[in-house]
Structure 1
Amino acid sequence: MTGRMNENYLSGLGTRLRGVSVVLAIAGLLYGTTATPAKADFAAGWNAYQDGDFGGALKYWKPLAEKGNARAQFNLGVMFAEGKGLAQSFEHAVKWWQKAATHGDAEAQHNIAMAYIVGNGVEQNYDVAVSWLKKAAQLGLIRSQYALGRMYDYGFGINQDQSQASKFVTMAAEKGFDKAQYNLGKRYRDGKGVPKDRKRSASWFLAAAKQGHMKAQNHIGVRLARGDGIAKDEVKGLMYLILAAKQGHGKAAKRRDDLAAKLSSAQHKKAQDMAKYWKPVK
């Protein structure tokens, strides 16, 4: 039974930070944490929420939140942020996340950091955001580790440090976070905070591509077609370019067509069949 809500609590994911468009996928804001409710009331609230009965969920969760239940406090914050069951209020959302954060709730700490990055419910403050990200990252929250790496990358709220950026991005990548894997692939390609390494770059692009990351699929498709940092395999390369193009990657579509024109009809069909039956590996 899920005890967290898979919600995007912030609006405007294309927010510009100091002129740089950092798709608040600086951190990614979706959560899939599961927790077995310790109390029947929490479970009843979750069932009500799943059924779209937000008022019913609020009836169960608010008393629990007021008694100090961190999970209920976190979920109540999301309900305020989304305006489900009550009037939308980022100020109240942050208030409840702060309560949950004091109990060591990493996801609440992450949400608070995102609020300070954007300035939702609080005054925008990158320094404070970084302090919350450090707490959540230390508790092992993957998205916070990645987000902290990106803050080091851009120098937002902390001194720019590509070595530290790579350290935290690597933490998230090694735990399977596709955005981090893709970013690490670029870092090894460019020698940004890590030594240039074409093989490692390709391996990280491949890891993200296997999960369905569009840009990574485009990159590894090109690498496979050329044998750049990875054994040459034009058919598999074409498969990934087909997948990336299907997701809307413009450059991948042209590269797909160019590569397909070089291959035999049998190779082209094989790549198409592979793409047709391909499934992401999470």
Structure 2
Amino acid sequence: MDLNADLGEGFGRWTLGDDVALLDIVTSANVACGFHAGDPATMHRICVAAVRRGVAIGAQVGYRDLAGFGRRRIDYDLDELRDDVIYQIGALEGFCRVAGGRVAYVKPHGALYNTAAVDEGQASAVVAAVRAYDAALPVLCQPGSVLARLATAAGLTVVGEGFADRGYRADGTLVPRSARGALIHDPDAVVARAVRMAVEGVVETVAGEVVPCPVESICVHGDTPGAVDLAGRVREGLLAAGRSVRPRPSPAGSGADERGRRG
């Protein structure tokens, strides 16, 4: 099982989360590419640290919305959205290559993630961007989502992702952050949910239903209070359940490997 976290979400003098500590725990880093968060110096620093640890690097692409942290939906011109995604992948790729690695996958962030899960237009723009940049790059997204369906139809590799610390609705989508039950705060519950997704391929919704959630990667948010401890506990829980914790095999030439990874 792959364990991922959103990293590099500081900007300028503003920092968010303990990126270095999380890089010692996770196996994949979703690195902000400068639109919803991040800046060149931060991208460079995270890429160097990730490559040294053998952590896979993913382009966490989002809306052009620094003020809103990419969590406000924007109704883009779809060609413009496609080009914004290409731009972000390319920006991170430059710093990956300088560090001796490559971008290993693409994951939308925030409102773009949630919108592309249900909206064919924005999902198609993300798919078009990845195909145009490098069709070998996997797309990390919710299993069963519109983005997953369109990416698969376009011949892209889809990696199903589950969220250990987020609430789910009956249709498999995430509870909006503005709604009750959006975040899971109890560390024991977070670990139990991660293990259940990994072992049984299901998740319990806010209404208490159990719905399918077949995943290959589990996300623990890096901006959650106590994120480092929580990620460590999730990793330990997965190992105790008999699941190895390692990056997914990378696309040919991606440069991501398992150097120094544990478990």
Please indicate, yes or no, whether the TM-score normalized by the shorter chain is above 0.5. Answer: no
* Greater helix share, structure number: 1
Give me the TM-score of the superposition, normalised by structure 2.
0.29
The one of the two structures with greater contact order (alpha-carbon pairs below 8 A, sep at least 6) is 2
Which structure is larger by alpha-carbon Rg, 1 or 2? 1
Give me the TM-score of the superposition, normalised by structure 1.
0.27
